Structure 1
């Protein structure tokens, strides 16, 4: 399905959720691509982009080095497939949005989803200061909306 820049796909998200009989979503905003792939780093002689095993909660580097095809096949078979993320909207940013504008966009998304009987249970994003400030506005955590 073709996407138009800055166009929200609220009707499509409802169709996307129907097979799972779910009407709760968590909105994540990020500039990172959501297309997953496995790569090979020749300098490390290691496959990359697999989820590294955790030891004591810490991901272990270079965990996927092998000369054995069967081992590589085993790693691929251990990948748990899940529904891909639904992209509600895509837009370009000039990096000038203020926290209050982000907060207002989230309110818009919340209300538009609610009109489709979809309940947004939260928003998240990367560590950009404006987005963190918008999260603080949402939670009223050490901030006052009248200051923004």
Structure 2
């Protein structure tokens, strides 16, 4: 919780107790756990589904403010923390290549630094008595220059890609940001419509059977 500096302070004051950050990063990379900005971990999600044998999950998405800082990733030769471009709401990974000084200079002159970190988490639903752990799906830096249609298209993309991994996402959760709330209204048809994206006509729409003695349905 204290971050990199706290970890280093503990390591230096307890020699041999914990490995160095370089060793930890190397172990994570060897285990296939390296995180790439804008890249969703569907391969790891598929492996998790096979090992735990579950099919239902809840996906959450939220933004948090970050300190603007540009970092160079030598393993992919990309620059991180510029605002990740969205293709129909879906982030484009490894977009800012920096194979030369001119390319790096061009990024600093023309691209906007991200001031938000958008994180996607997935919580599996299981009948097992053991506690369920959250799964980190992906993250990327952005700005506030996106709209509710981008959010909606991204949710549909996450839903469809998760189905390939044999996981059915039942719902998406987020905070009360107006863009996310409008996306929820559009996808649920709550005083809003999507004429060009007929979600309710999909064959895989989740149907909720209400008791016959319920005379009406209320949105909470």
Q: Which structure shows the higher strand fraction?
A: 2
Deviation (angstroms), 1:24: 0.9
Residue correspondence of structure 1 range 87-126 to structure 2 within 5 A: 87-126=136-175
Counterpart CA distance in 1 for 2:143 and 2:46 is: 30
Residue ranges of structure 1 left out of the alignment (5+ in a row): 33-80
Aligned-residue CA RMSD (Å): 2.1
TM-score by length of 1: 0.61
Tell me what 1:13 maps to. 45
Residue ranges of structure 2 left out of the alignment (5+ in a row): 1-32, 65-129, 198-220
Deviation (angstroms), 1:5: 0.5
Aligned partner of 2:56 among 1, 5, 24: 24
The alignment covers a number of residue pairs equal to 100
Contact 2:49-2:167 within 8 A present in 1 as well:
no
Counterpart CA distance in 1 for 2:168 and 2:196 is: 28
Once the two structures are overlaid, the 10-residue window that deviates more, 10-19 or 105-114, is: 10-19
Deviation (angstroms), 1:87: 1.0
Contact 2:49-2:166 within 8 A present in 1 as well:
no
Bigger Cα Rg: 2
TM-score by length of 2: 0.42
Higher relative contact order (CA 8 A, sep 6+): 1
